[in-house]
Amino acid sequence: MNTINTEYSFANKRVIVMGLGRFGGGVGVTRWLINQGANVLVTDQADADTLASSIEQLADLFSTQRLEVVHGSHTNALLERAEVLIVNPAVSMPWKNPFINHARAIGVLVTTEIEIAYRQLDPLNIIAVTGSAGKSTTSAMIHHALKTIGRKTILAGNIGGSLLSQLEEIDDETTVVLELSSAMIYWLWERGSALPTLQGPQVACITNYMPNHLDWHGCETHYQDSKKQLISILPADSVAILDSSLRSWASLTKATVQLSQELVPDCATPGKHNAINAAMAVLGVFSCTQIEDQKIVVEAIQEFAGLPHRLNLCHCANDIKFYNDSKSTVPQATLLAVDAIAEHVPRKRIHLIVGGAEKGSDLSSIAALHDQLAGLYTIGKTGHSLAQGPIANDCQTLENAMMRAIKAANPGDVILLSPGCASWDQFTNYEQRGDRFVVLAKQLAQSTICSCKS
C-alpha cells in the first residue's frame, strides 16, 4: 500500500495501551504495535476475569516476550520508562485525566489508535462522516454504493473493528469511508499533537447536530466544537457536505460546501430521516467519483437494507412486527424512530421500549410520548423518570418490558426498542441490548412466522 505521514516508527519503542476493554477495544492496536516491533504494556482498571475474553484474543502474543498486561489503577509509575501512550477514546474528558496529563508533562508521546491509522492513509481517498445521529447508516450507504459501482472501498472507524488490521488491504485505488465520533475528531485535530498536523479528508459529511455525549465532553459547547472541527480543518480543494439544518456552519470552512436538502424516496430502510441519510450518501459518492450514470448510485442506496440495531425489522410473529433500534442512545433518535414507524402504522399501534443509562440528555421529549402511543415501557436507571402517564410502565428490565408489551400488543401492532439512552447500566453495549431484544422477540412471541420479511 502507499503510506504517507509515516514520520513516526514504533519499532523497539516502549508503548502503553491505556484500556484494553471488555470487548477488545484495545486488541487491534496492541496486536498491530507488536507486529511493528514495539514492546507493549496494556493497563486496564478492570480485573483479569472481567477482561478474560479480550486477553484471550492476545494469547498468542505473550510468547513474544513483548506484551505485558497490568490490572488496576493507571499509576504514574507505569509511565517512567514509556515513550508512547495510546489512549482509548472512551476515556472521557482526557484533557482532565491526571495519567494522560502526567504523560505529556514528562515527554511521553500521547496518541490514539485512530490517529495512528489515519496517518497511514491518503486523505485524498477518505470520505469522513460524522453527526449526532445517522452517521453509521450514512457511512454504510456510501460504502454499499461504492461497492455496487465497482469501486474498491473499506468501511471503518467508529462503526467498529480496527482500521489498523485492514491497512494491508488498502492501496491507491481504495476509498476509505471513515465514520468519526466526536471523540475521534477531538483526538485527530482539536487537541493538538506532537506529530505534524493531519490533513483533512477529501470529503467530509455532517449528517446533523443535536446535544450528545455531554458526559465525555463535559459541556455541549465542547461537543459542538468537536463536530465543527471536522469541516474547519478541510483544505480548500475538499468538499464539505452538510445537512441543510447546518447551513450556518458553511462559513467555518474553506472547502466547497454542498447542502443535503433533497430526499431519496422509496428506501428499503424506513423513515424520512433515512431518506435524508440517503441523500447525503448520494452526494458523498458523487463528490469522490466521476461516475456518469448517477442513477445506479441512487438505486444502490435505495436498495441498502440497513444496519443491525438501527431501526431493523428483526422479527414478525402473530402479525406483530418487532423493530430493533438499540443504537438509539439519544432522545432525538427515539423521536425519529417513532416518526419513521408512524409513516406506516398509527402511533396508537406502537409499543415503545425506552430507557437505560443516564448520559446527561434531556429526556422530556421521550416522556411526552406517553399519551400518543399504545404503550410506553421503561427500563434501566432512567426508567422511573420516563414512566409518566396512564400507558407508561416502569418495567426495570428489558425482559419485563417485552413480556408486558407482547401481552398488550394486538395483530398489526409494532413493538419498538428505541431506548434514547445508553446501555451500560444493564448491558455492556447497545449491540448486546439489541441482540437480547431479538432473542426475546423470538422466544416470547413463540417464533410464529408471518408473511412479512424478517
Identical topology for domains 14-111 and 312-444? no
Q: What is the mean pLDDT of the chain?
A: 92
The partner residues of 444 in beta bridges, in order of sequence, read none
Whether the model clears a pTM of 0.85, i.e. scores above it, the answer is no
Q: How many CB atoms lie within 10 A of CB 383?
A: 25
Residue 4 pLDDT > 70:
no
pLDDT value of position 453 = 41
Q: Determine the Cα–Cα distance for residues 21 and 325; give it in Å rounded to an integer.
A: 24
Q: How many CB atoms lie within 10 A of CB 320?
A: 23
Q: Does domain 14-111 have CATH number 3.40.50.720?
A: yes
For 304-330, the pLDDT digits (tens) are 988 899 998 999 999 999 999 999 999
> Phi, psi at residue 32, to the nearest 5°?
-65, -40
Q: For the chain, give the number of residues.
A: 454
C-alpha cell, 330: 439519544
The residue among 46, 7, 54, 304 whose CA lies nearest residue 177 is 304
Q: Sketch the domain layout of the chain as residue ranges.
A: 14-111, 115-302, 312-444
Average of per-residue pLDDT across 15-32:
87
Confidence category of residue 1, pLDDT binned at 50, 70, 90: very low
Q: Are 238 and 211 in contact (CB under 8 A)?
A: no
Residue the block writes with cell 508512547 = 84
The partner residues of 82 in beta bridges, in order of sequence, read none
Residue 291 pLDDT > 90:
no
Residue 450 pLDDT > 80:
no
CATH of 115-302, one of 3.90.950.20, 3.40.50.880, 3.40.1190.10, 2.40.70.10: 3.40.1190.10
Q: Are 403 and 334 in contact (CB under 8 A)?
A: no
Q: Determine the Cα–Cα distance for residues 227 and 132; give it in Å rounded to an integer.
A: 9
The angle subtended at Cα 261 by Cα 257 and Cα 279, nearest 5°, is: 90
Q: Does domain 312-444 have CATH number 1.10.3720.10?
A: no
C-alpha cell, 371: 399519551
pLDDT value of position 339 = 95
Q: Determine the Cα–Cα distance for residues 280 and 274; give it in Å rounded to an integer.
A: 10
Q: Determine the Cα–Cα distance for residues 255 and 265; give it in Å rounded to an integer.
A: 28
> If you ran DSSP here, which 8-state letter would residue 161 be given?
S
Average of per-residue pLDDT across 260-279:
90
Confidence category of residue 452, pLDDT binned at 50, 70, 90: very low
For 35-76, the pLDDT digits (tens) are 999 999 999 999 999 889 889 999 999 999 999 999 999 999
Average of per-residue pLDDT across 239-247:
96
